[in-house]
Structure 1
Amino acid sequence: MSAASPPVPRPAPSRAVLRRGLKVVWSGIRQQPRPFAVAVVGAVLWAGATVGTAGAIGWVTRTVITPAVDSGRVTAVGLWTIFGVLVAVLLVNVVGVILRRVWATVAGFNLQAAYRRRVTRQYLRLPLSWHHAHPSGQLLSNAHADIEATWQVFNPLPMAIGVLFMLVIAGTMMVVVDPLLAFVGLLVFPGLFAANLVFQRFMSPRITRAQQLRAEVAEVAHESFEAGLVVKSMGREEEETARFTAATHELRDSLIEVGRTRGTFEPVIEAIPTLGTLAVLGVGTWQVSQGDLVAGDVVQMAYLFSILAFPVRALGWVLAELPRSVVGHDRVQHVLQAQGGMEYGDAHLTREGGAVESELRGVSYTHAGEEEPTVHDVDLVVPAGSTTALVGPTGSGKSTLTNLALRLVDAGGGTVRLAGRDVRELAHGVLPSVATLVAQQTFMFDDTVRGNITLGEESDDEAVWESLRIAQGDGFVRALPEGLDTVVGERGGTLSGGQRQRIALARAIWRRPRLLVLDDATSAVDPSVEQAILAGLREARDGMTVLVVAYRMATITLADQVVYLEHGRVVDQGPHDELLERCDGYADLVHAYAREAAERAAVAAAEEPQEEHA
């Protein structure tokens, strides 16, 4: 389980958040200029039509309704005039709303899709050492929740820009109608903007904290799901539940604080335009009684304030989204600006051409956060077409050497060569096409057996079955309900550990690699099955070099040469029989392996009669 999450950093001051948020918005506009421009055009049309509705109502009141009231008669022309004017304004309004919403959504989701692709490409570019230092829950949060938070502001943004146009148009109309009444009404807007700024100042740290806590909850949840087997087998359900409960309660409290702040400010902000409307009606009524205004002008002004009350809230929505955008953007940029990506050359190796030699000269590597190197000054040559076994006690650097040979990590010193080429000189994608790793911890996709072997590449079933035969997996696959078309479930949950290992081995063999690396890849299968697999590899290895991390005698004795490691250094290498005679450490370790295997066999033999009797 991971260590406790670090404390949530204190948010930057409100002005800094506002300034940085506007920079994020501007970068998004530059990346999606056309969709955003169309959305703004729609917002301007909507703003003009909304304000135009007030003007139309005022005009209709003056020219149609008031004369009809005075004369006591309504004409058909008057009714059609009212209908035509309102329908025309409504159509413009509808068109504006459609353009604004659709294209704002297009811009926002285009940005989200583009950044998810960037983050994914960066994940693939960064070496394993970087991934080891970042929990997978955090990486999932970066690729989903943080990107969504960064660009969510594009939903209300065009509307907020339309509101600014609306305020300019409405203010001009009010001044034209009556400067005094306009002055009384416009006093509302400074108060409204001040209330929104105070609202944003209070909301900024709370939303920042909530967004960071969302990521922490995702990390805890993902870790708990991934460790499901450990949690169940160790009886840690209550402790994990308590850990997740603590994280979710902290997020809950943070979101409640957000809701409490929003609930405090929103009634005040919504009440300000209402107060402006009442003030306009009061002053306007007095002016009508004095003969300075007609009723239609007062109705127009009051309606303007009533329709402006809700749209002006869009400015507050944008201000409230900016802190989330800044937090999400910072977390995404942490990934996009991460250093440590691998550099590639332009050299190529063909998939054909037979087995290749793998060579490590003076290679050293130190894991992040450690002072002592895991492997130090290692010289290792795996001849083309041979089988080389890496043997050594736990922590001697065997798996690290396999990662270096396949350039899953870059050596801190020395040179790694494949077919005489420095692996750093190979073009991107060349090494995986000619060299394959089968790890002890196999991964199965929620796909068919065929899909897990070919990984979506085109192949005839004959080649798939041949790979399964060499991996000793054809028998159990034929017994599955749908054979190669059987879906194995998430992480291969319907298969045993040995079955998953054999499918993973078939996946590697199917690619006919020129270098096959096995990191204890047969640990979950029976010794007799392991011997059959290794014998099959020897028969099929005419075009394949095999480097294997070995723990069982069956694997070691089938190797052409054995390399014995201790403390990250090569102590001795050569044929198995020779090492037994001249290397005491190797002899002790191999004898320990043999004793362990004998003890397991004895236990199995002792239990067999009891099982038969049962």
Structure 2
Amino acid sequence: MADSTSRDVLGRGLRVLGHAIREEPRIFTVGVVGSSLFGLLTIGGAYLVGAIVGHIVVPSLEDGRVDAGLLALAAAALIGLSVLKVGGIFARRLGAGWMQFRLQATFRRRVTRRYLELPVAWHQRNATGTLLSNANSDVEAAWFPIAPLPFAVGTVVMLVGAFVSLFATDWVLALVGAAIFPALFALNVIYSRRMAPRQARAQALRGEVSAIAHESFDGALVVKTMGREAEETARFATRAAELRDALISVGRLRGIFDPMLDTLPSLGTLAVLLVGAWRLRQGAVTVTELVSVAFLFTVLAFPVRAIGWVLAELPRSVAGWDRVQRVLTATGEMPYGARSRAGQGTPASLRFEGVSFGYDSSDVLHDVSFTVPAGRIVALVGPTGSGKSTIASLSVRLVDPGSGTVFFDEDDLPSLTAESLAGTAALVAQLPFVFDDSVRANVTLDRPGVSDEDVWAALRLAQAEGFVARLPDGLDTHVGERGATLSGGQRQRLTLARALAGRPDLLVLDDATSAVDPRVEAAILGSLRSAEPPASILIVAYRRATIALADEVVYIEQGRVVAHGTHTELLATVSGYADLVTAYEKAEAERELERESV
């Protein structure tokens, strides 16, 4: 793989640059015009210096006097040329910087948009730290060569002009340039091919280091409470050391080639002076021509390095581009339909018909069929791993079934628009996510039409009005990262209020009240039952009191619906259900005793 990468990195890198030019052709043109102007003026400047030396400086030395008028004219010409070159430099840098930063911003938005389009299953297969690296350092790496690109293209124009002028001056001196510049290009190609696998390795390790760091920070509580600080530090240090070694390898190669790339133009200048002195003695060139050519080689040394900068960054660019494209070309997105639910604003029925689903090669649900009637509360009960959370995800179309259909009323979910789907159903997950923002912002999520009165009404339904009112700044209180200033139960009630503020027609609660007191949970369910406007509710439940409040219970085992009916009916007829509910009740009683004893 590394050999393949090193062989085709130049071609692939040039294709990435071509893509960049197609993305921003106008800005690129501004940069190239400025760079080309600078390059051509540089050639003109070399011949202007040669003319000044040959026609003003040498005669002045021979005659022992200086023509002030000619000297002033020479100074004015040099100043005017410099002003024009400054304009070229400004246009070149403006075009290069503008193009680079626009491309980075554009592709960060595309990557982020793609993240939102891809299903939850795809995100579960990719570490969060790696995804952060894709949107940040990989996008940055992909467009890193854009900064010197207009300069490099302008340098090519300058080289063409330089060769024309060299052959017009003296074909022997031109041959010196014909030997030096191809050698410089060949050295850059060798450098790029050697660098390619090293840059690819370093870029991959950046993503891995980011993933480990994010995971460690995210799991800081577990790490500290389990005393795993040393082990996590060692795990991070191992990857960080690998990244360090990879970057040292990059630096070592750069340290070998950079002096060679810097030396070649200087050798060209020296060769021109030696050959030029010989040609001068033969009378083939004049002093003016020799100075012009020598000065031209001197001023070309720096611009020619721009080509080297582009070629040197191509391996890193290709590595970043490949990682970004892995996201942009990922498949599995769920297309939405064009229909809106006819009964928007009224309780929605939820119906599963022959639904099966699996993660990769592991089947989770098998031919699941049940209905949540409009305006009713249905409890979903089953042992751990029986597929309850998967059913919750399917109910709001976080994932699509492998076979079978999920309906809201008579509309299958894929036929609905994203807006209709989001306006119809809301999921409150077991693990609440709270943004590092105010209570108000966490509840409203900047949704239009959600007033403070709606926020307080949602908090009231979620039994969160009391604790929010006691916060220092009420709705304006910032709750910290992931709601760090709130208890687990408070975070759950806040996320429930967030769902209720959108007035969903179907509310799916995936054990969303597990961290609250049973009395508070009963109050929440009671308020939901009497809420206006009413909503249908599917609740993944464990507590016996919660299950008993439901109008109907669906009992599942190993991904299959075993029975459904009222809580009382299932207790009497399904032994597995009775045993499970009894076990839940016993576990809850033990937890309650532990809380009272603390």
Same fold (TM over 0.5): yes
SS of 1:297's equivalent in the other structure is: helix
1:417 to 2:407 alignment: yes
Query: What is the CA distance between 1:542 and its match in structure 2?
Result: 4.7
Post-superposition CA distance 1:205-233 (Å, at most 9, x none): 21222112212211221222222222112
CA distance in 2, matches of 1:354, 1:290: 100
2:115 to 87, 108, 123: 123
SS of 2:2's equivalent in the other structure is: coil
Query: What is the CA distance between 1:360 and its match in structure 2?
Result: 0.4
AA matched with 1:407: R
1:383 to 2:366 alignment: no
Residue 4 of structure 1 corresponds to none
Please say which of residues 59-68 and 182-191 is displaced more in the overlay. 182-191
CA distance in 2, matches of 1:11, 1:566: 52
SS of 1:414's equivalent in the other structure is: strand
Residue 501 of structure 2 corresponds to 510
CA distance in 1, matches of 2:5, 2:380: 57
Residue 258 of structure 1 corresponds to 250
AA matched with 1:203: M
CA contact (8 A) 1:58 1:296 kept: yes
CA 1:11–1:466: 2 relative to 1, 3 Å: farther
Post-superposition CA distance 1:459-507 (Å, at most 9, x none): 3212111111111111111111111001111111111111111110110
**For 1:218-257, what aligned pairs fall within 5 Å after superposition?**
218-257=210-249
Residue 499 of structure 1 corresponds to 490
CA distance in 2, matches of 1:411, 1:541: 32
2:510 to 483, 508, 519: 519
2:77 to 75, 85, 88: 85
Query: What is the CA distance between 1:111 and its match in structure 2?
Result: 2.0
Residue 530 of structure 2 corresponds to 539
2:46 to 54, 58, 71: 54
Residue 66 of structure 2 corresponds to 74
CA distance in 2, matches of 1:478, 1:606: 29
CA contact (8 A) 1:11 1:208 kept: no
CA distance in 1, matches of 2:70, 2:430: 85
SS of 1:364's equivalent in the other structure is: strand
TM-score by length of 1: 0.94
CA contact (8 A) 1:396 1:568 kept: yes
SS of 1:359's equivalent in the other structure is: strand
Please say which of residues 379-388 and 198-207 is displaced more in the overlay. 198-207
Q: Give unmatched runs, 5+ long, in structure 2.
A: none
Identity fraction in percent? 52
1:186 to 2:178 alignment: yes
Please say which of residues 457-466 and 30-39 is displaced more in the overlay. 457-466
Query: What is the CA distance between 1:63 and its match in structure 2?
Result: 2.2
Residue 340 of structure 1 corresponds to 332
Query: What is the CA distance between 1:340 and its match in structure 2?
Result: 1.3
2:389 to 389, 399, 404: 399
AA matched with 1:364: S
Q: Give unmatched runs, 5+ long, in structure 1.
A: 1-8, 608-614
SS of 2:4's equivalent in the other structure is: coil
Residue 6 of structure 1 corresponds to none
SS of 1:365's equivalent in the other structure is: strand
Please say which of residues 42-51 and 218-227 is displaced more in the overlay. 218-227
1:366 to 2:349 alignment: no
AA matched with 1:381: T
Residue 297 of structure 1 corresponds to 289
Residue 610 of structure 1 corresponds to none
CA distance in 2, matches of 1:605, 1:153: 64
SS of 1:379's equivalent in the other structure is: strand
1:307 to 2:299 alignment: yes
CA distance in 2, matches of 1:113, 1:601: 52
SS of 1:46's equivalent in the other structure is: helix
1:563 to 546, 549, 554: 554
Post-superposition CA distance 1:511-532 (Å, at most 9, x none): 1100001001111111111111
AA matched with 2:302: F
Post-superposition CA distance 1:42-64 (Å, at most 9, x none): 11001011122111101111222
**For 1:138-153, what aligned pairs fall within 5 Å after superposition?**
138-153=130-145
TM-score by length of 2: 0.97
CA contact (8 A) 2:430 2:513 kept: yes
1:591 to 572, 578, 582: 582
1:16 to 2:11 alignment: no
SS of 2:530's equivalent in the other structure is: helix
Please say which of residues 411-420 and 120-129 is displaced more in the overlay. 120-129
RMSD, aligned CA: 1.6
CA distance in 2, matches of 1:198, 1:542: 71
Residue 460 of structure 1 corresponds to 451
CA distance in 2, matches of 1:290, 1:332: 60
Post-superposition CA distance 1:17-59 (Å, at most 9, x none): 1111111211221121111111111110010111221111011
1:475 to 2:466 alignment: yes
AA matched with 2:464: G
CA 1:541–1:359: 2 relative to 1, 3 Å: farther
CA contact (8 A) 2:358 2:364 kept: yes
Query: What is the CA distance between 1:103 and its match in structure 2?
Result: 0.9
Aligned residues: 597
Post-superposition CA distance 1:580-614 (Å, at most 9, x none): 1111111111111121222223333334xxxxxxx
CA 1:363–1:461: 2 relative to 1, 3 Å: same
CA contact (8 A) 1:353 1:543 kept: no
Post-superposition CA distance 1:291-340 (Å, at most 9, x none): 44433322222111111111111111111121222222222222222221
CA distance in 2, matches of 1:244, 1:604: 37
**For 1:311-322, what aligned pairs fall within 5 Å after superposition?**
311-322=303-314
1:551 to 2:505 alignment: no
CA distance in 2, matches of 1:596, 1:182: 90
Residue 578 of structure 1 corresponds to 569
Residue 37 of structure 1 corresponds to 29
CA 1:58–1:350: 2 relative to 1, 3 Å: farther
Residue 266 of structure 2 corresponds to 274
SS of 2:143's equivalent in the other structure is: helix
CA distance in 2, matches of 1:264, 1:467: 66
Please say which of residues 70-79 and 54-63 is displaced more in the overlay. 70-79
SS of 1:540's equivalent in the other structure is: coil
1:103 to 2:95 alignment: yes
Query: What is the CA distance between 1:186 and its match in structure 2?
Result: 3.4
AA matched with 2:484: G
Residue 603 of structure 1 corresponds to 594
